[in-house]
Amino acid sequence: MSVNAKNELSGSHAGSNQAPVSEQNGAFGFGADILMAGNKSKGKRPYFFNSEETERVLNIAMAAAAEVAVIRERLDTIERLLESKGLLKQSEIEAYEPDDKAAEERQLWHARFAARLLRIIQQEIEAVAKPEENKPMQQIADEINEM
């Protein structure tokens, strides 16, 4: 196959060999390929947990876990490439100790990350702690109607 033929067929991203393939437009138009990728197969989906909600969350969590693994593998590639180019040794990464400022910034990042992950539980606790701010929206609407 000639390079030209390939470029013609690959349309909008022709020649853009540098661009990460994952960001290219698919054959079915932008965004359509990932939706097709996720199409449901024929037949009713079985749920195994007693609550479908739990299983739904499990599926979302596993997809997120997959992406963490993907990032980890990419990072590993970067580290190894840097090492092979003599820019960095993996042992330097292992031995790295942040100075005070860096350490604090990183801890803050972790704290924020943890807070994002567990937001819903924080809010459930706040609901119990402040019942006066936890009225049903219908009730609030009715109350506002009188204000």
Give contact residues for another protein (rule: CB under 8 A): 1, 5-6, 9-11, 20-22, 24-28, 32-34, 36-43, 45-50, 55, 58-59, 62-63, 65-66, 69-70, 73-74, 77
Nearer to another protein, 12 or 91 (CB): 12
Structure tokens at 26: 């698919």
**Shortest reach from residue 36's CB to another protein, in Å:** 5
Nearer to another protein, 66 or 140 (CB): 66
**Shortest reach from residue 32's CB to another protein, in Å:** 8
**Shortest reach from residue 128's CB to another protein, in Å:** 27
Nearer to another protein, 48 or 96 (CB): 48
Please give, one letter per residue, the 3-state secondary structure of the chain: CCHHHHHHHHHHHCCCCCCCHHHCCCCCCCCHHHHHHCCCCCCCCCCCCCCHHHHHHHHHHHHHHHHHHHHHHHHHHHHHHHHHCCCCCHHHHHHCCCCHHHHHHHHHHHHHHHHHHCHHHHHHHHHHHCHHHCCCHHHHHHHHHCC
Nearer to another protein, 17 or 91 (CB): 17
**Shortest reach from residue 15's CB to another protein, in Å:** 14
Structure tokens at 85: 């180019």
